[in-house]
Structure 1
Amino acid sequence: MLYIFDLGNVIVDIDFNRVLGAWSDFSRVPLATLKQSFNMGEPFHQHERGEISDEEFAKALCEEMDLPLSYEQFSTGWQAVFVALRPEVIDIMQKLREQGHRVVVLSNTNRLHTTYWPEQYPEVHVAADNIYLSQEMGMRKPESRIYQQVIALEGFSVGDTVFFDDNADNIAGAEQLGITAILVTSKATIPDYFSKQLC
């Protein structure tokens, strides 16, 4: 079987409120104001596909949110999204590989984050056979082609693939292709799913 795991809030806890909190501290713009103006719009998607640079992304968001930040302040805040590793998921990924399954990570991410989390959480690379990142692939979930490419590169069929993600749109995109897709709603979702398979 091919098991595909998302990264954020699946393997690693993330919290965008921490980003906004840091930006608020730097800029003195009230947190409530930032929460209202922050949205994952087109610049966000372009950045995840690698279509615009980190600097262009920072400029676009700062202009969109009327946020007076230096690039360094923006970057520091952007990295604050990461909270902690979920060791129970790392353990499951390793057990799956020991059983002969193929385990990969598929993440919508961006260059700014990929300069940070691999060093902070080296366990992710150790537990995965491969890591697929949207900005390197030039496409992002829930686009059908990103799932199709990962499955093709891994040499599996959709019927032999299970996908875990915390985003309902990403789950729907995978299900449309016939992939078994599990919406991760809490830290218990993945351990509960595997409680029988990995006994």
Structure 2
Amino acid sequence: MLYIFDLGNVIVDIDFNRVLGVWSDLSRVPLATLKSRFQMGESFHQHERGEISDEVFAQKICHELGLSLSFEQFAAGWQAVFVGVRPEVIAIMHKLRDQGERVVILSNTNRLHCQFWPSEYPEVSAAADKIYLSQDMGLRKPDPAIYQRLLNEEEYSAEEAIFFDDNPENIEAARKLGIHSLLITDASVLPAFFADR
């Protein structure tokens, strides 16, 4: 079997409120104001597909949120999204690989975040056979093409794959392709799924 893991809130806990908190502290824009304005819109999607640079992305988000931040300040906030790794998921990934299963990561992410998490959480890369990143592929979930490309590269059929993600849209898109998919609503879901198998 091919096991496909999302990164954020599946393997590593993330929290965008932490990002907004840092930006609020640095800019003196009230946190409530930032929360009301922040959305993962088109510039967010362009960044995750690798279509715009980190600097252009920072400019666009600062403009959307009314922030006056240097790129370094923006980046400091952007990296604050990472809370910590879920060791129980890392253990599951290693166990699957020990059993001869194929384990990959498929993440909507961006270069700025990839300057941070691989060195901060080296155990993530060590637990996967391969990592597929949206900015390298020029595609992002839930675009069906990103799943199809992964299946093609891995040489597995949809029926031979299981996908774990915290976003209902991503899960729905994978299911439509015939990939068995499990929505991860909290940290207990994955360990419970494997305990039952």
TM-score (norm 1): 0.98
In the alignment, the residues of structure 2 paired with residue 82 and residue 103 of structure 1 have an alpha-carbon distance, to the nearest angstrom, of: 22
What is the CA deviation profile of residues 103-138 of structure 1, one whole-angstrom value per residue up to 9, with x for unaligned ones?
000000000000000000000111000000000000
Corresponding position: 1:176 with 2:156 = no
Number of residues of Structure 1 aligned to a counterpart in Structure 2 = 197
Partner deviation per Cα, 1:36-77 (whole Å, 9 max, x = no partner): 000000000000000000000000000111111111100000
Give the SS at the match of 1:105.
strand
Residue 26 of structure 1 aligns with which residue? Answer: 26
Cα distance per residue 1:70-99 (max 9 Å; x no partner): 111000000000001000000000000011
What's 2:106 paired with?
A: 106
SS of 1:18 mapped into structure 2: helix
Would you identify which runs of 4 or more consecutive aligned residues in structure 1 move more than 2 Å?
Answer: none
Which amino acid is 2:60 matched to? A
Q: How far apart, in 1, do the equivalents of 2:192 and 2:155 lie?
A: 28
Identity %: 65
Q: Which runs of 5+ in 2 are unaligned?
A: none
Alignment correspondent of 1:16: 16
CA distances 1:155-183 after superposition (whole Å, capped 9, x unpaired) = 10000000000000100110110110100
Read off the aligned partner of 1:180 and give its amino acid letter.
H
Unaligned stretches of 5+ in structure 1?
A: none
Tell me, yes or no, if structure 1 residue 5 matches structure 2 residue 10: no
* RMSD, aligned CA: 0.5
SS in 1 for 2:24: helix
Q: Does 1:156 align with 2:156?
A: yes
Give the Å deviation of 1:151.
Answer: 0.8
- Matches of 1:96 and 1:79, distance apart in 2: 30
Partner of 2:127: 127
Partner of 2:147: 147
Aligned counterparts of 1:163 and 1:117: Cα–Cα separation in 2: 21
Q: Could you say what secondary structure the match of 1:132 adopts? A: strand
Amino acid at match of 2:68: P
- Partner in structure 1 of residue 71 of structure 2: 71
- DSSP 3-state at the match of 2:196: coil
Give, as a single letter, the amino acid of the residue that structure 2 aligns with 1:123: E
Q: CA deviation at 1:196?
A: 2.9
Identify the residue that residue 89 of structure 1 maps to in structure 2: 89
Q: Aligned pair 1:191/2:194, yes or no? A: no
TM-score, normalised with respect to structure 2: 0.99
State the 1:101 CA deviation. 0.5
Partner SS state of residue 4, structure 1: strand
Q: In structure 1, what residue type is equivalent to 2:41?
A: G
Task: Tell me which amino acid in the other structure corresponds to 1:192.
Answer: A
